[in-house]
Amino acid sequence: DAGITQSPRHKVTETGTPVTLRCHQTENHRYMYWYRQDPGHGLRLIHYSYGVKDTDKGEVSDGYSVSRSKTEDFLLTLESATSSQTSVYFCAISAGTVRHEQFFGPGTRLTVL
């Protein structure tokens, strides 16, 4: 499955606590993405990265921050989790501008109580 792992796979946390999700790839792909998946909304882009230390916002970035200090790792942080951030989070990777295919990680189910 394209050498992508996510951790943790499941997490339950309380409102107001910080949460960090990790995406790790072994493909050395340039582009990495964080999506959230909610019923009726498909997959919505939170943030993306186009290289080490190069990141930008997606369509639903409020309340989230990201960091990419190494090619293989892309971290998503919820600074102060809210119940509206209860969702399934998927990381994806893409090789480059010629090959557009995106491949997804296994997902993290986050519940904010």
Partner 1 sequence: GENVEQHPSTLSVQEGDSAVIKCTYSDSASNYFPWYKQELGKRPQLIIDIRSNVGEKKDQRIAVTLNKTAKHFSLHITETQPEDSAVYFCAAIVSGGYNKLIFGAGTRLAVHP
* Residues that bind partner 1 in the complex, under the rule CB under 8 A: 1, 31, 33, 40-45, 48, 50, 56, 58-59, 90, 94, 96-97, 100-107
Q: By the 8 A CB rule, do 77 and 67 touch?
A: yes
CB of 52 to partner 1, least distance (A): 15
Residue nearer to partner 1 on the CB measure, 85 or 94: 94
Residue nearer to partner 1 on the CB measure, 67 or 102: 102
CB of 22 to partner 1, least distance (A): 16
CB of 16 to partner 1, least distance (A): 29
Residue nearer to partner 1 on the CB measure, 13 or 55: 55
> What are the CA-CA distances from residue 93 to residues 33, 73, 109 (Å)?
6, 11, 19
Inter-residue long-range contacts of 55-63, CB under 8 Å, 24+ positions, other chains counted? 58/33, 58/34, 60/36
CB of 33 to partner 1, least distance (A): 8
